[in-house]
Amino acid sequence: DAKTTQPPSMDCAEGRAANLPCNHSTISGNEYVYWYRQIHSQGPQYIIHGLKNNETNEMASLIITEDRKSSTLILPHATLRDTAVYYCIVRGYETSGSRLTFGEGTQLTVNP
Amino acid sequence: KAGVTQTPRYLIKTRGQQVTLSCSPISGHRSVSWYQQTPGQGLQFLFEYFSETQRNKGNFPGRFSGRQFSNSRSEMNVSTLELGDSALYLCASSTGGQGWYEQYFGPGTRLTVT
């Protein structure tokens, strides 16, 4: 699985968009980008994933650059409950196995 | 639908003892993965079970073992506990099969080794 690089921490004002970057310059053609988050003392929660097209769901949007070397997770209207550690994970679409390799993630703090 | 449950939620053990943690996946899920989370090492993959067979294993010593039952419930065992085994142990379940499926994590078991 390709290595990812994320800023260790970010701040965002409540109600504003939170844009969390992730660098994955060594990503290969069959690897997807996944985002999870972990609210303090809870298990990680899946947010979204994508291959090369932008993706959107009820939680967030994922923007992947054309060269796929980086991506941005966007929380359109951040709330205090979005304060969490956000993990960007690159993983191949393997034939079997659910293994996830977590990096250090970005601690997002949403301020009132 | 009930989520992933883990028991116990908190546990205190002494060095040299062994411990067994339990994970009940979401109904219908056949894959259970285990992770260890510590402040120093972050979230690390331990192993995955699918249909009662271990199909993926992380880089942990043999003191860490697991199994899965026919109802997909899983247990992990740590023998000869060390202080460094103090951690939050998380399990995650998914439908499994080929490709990737969304994993649902439980709340974790907080193990403290004294």
pLDDT tens digits along B6-27: 999 999 999 999 999 999 999 9
Tokens of B5: 């449950």
CB-CB neighbors (< 8 A) of B104 in chain A: 46
B40 touches chain A (CB under 8 A): no
Cα dihedral B61, B65, B84, A5 sign: positive
3-state secondary structure of B82: coil
pLDDT of residue B48: 93
A50-106 pLDDT tens trace: 999 899 999 999 999 999 999 999 999 999 999 999 999 998 766 556 788 898 999
* Average pLDDT for B46-51: 93
Give the residues across from B35 on adjacent strands. B45, B90
Greatest distance between any 2 Cα atoms in chain B: 41
pLDDT of residue A61: 98
B60 touches chain A (CB under 8 A): no
Q: State the DSSP code for B112.
A: E
- How many interface pairs between A and B have CB atoms less than 8 angstroms apart? 66
Instruction: State percent of chain B over pLDDT 70.
Output: 96
B69-109 pLDDT tens trace: 999 999 999 999 999 999 999 999 998 766 667 889 999 99
Mean of all residue pLDDT scores within chain B: 93
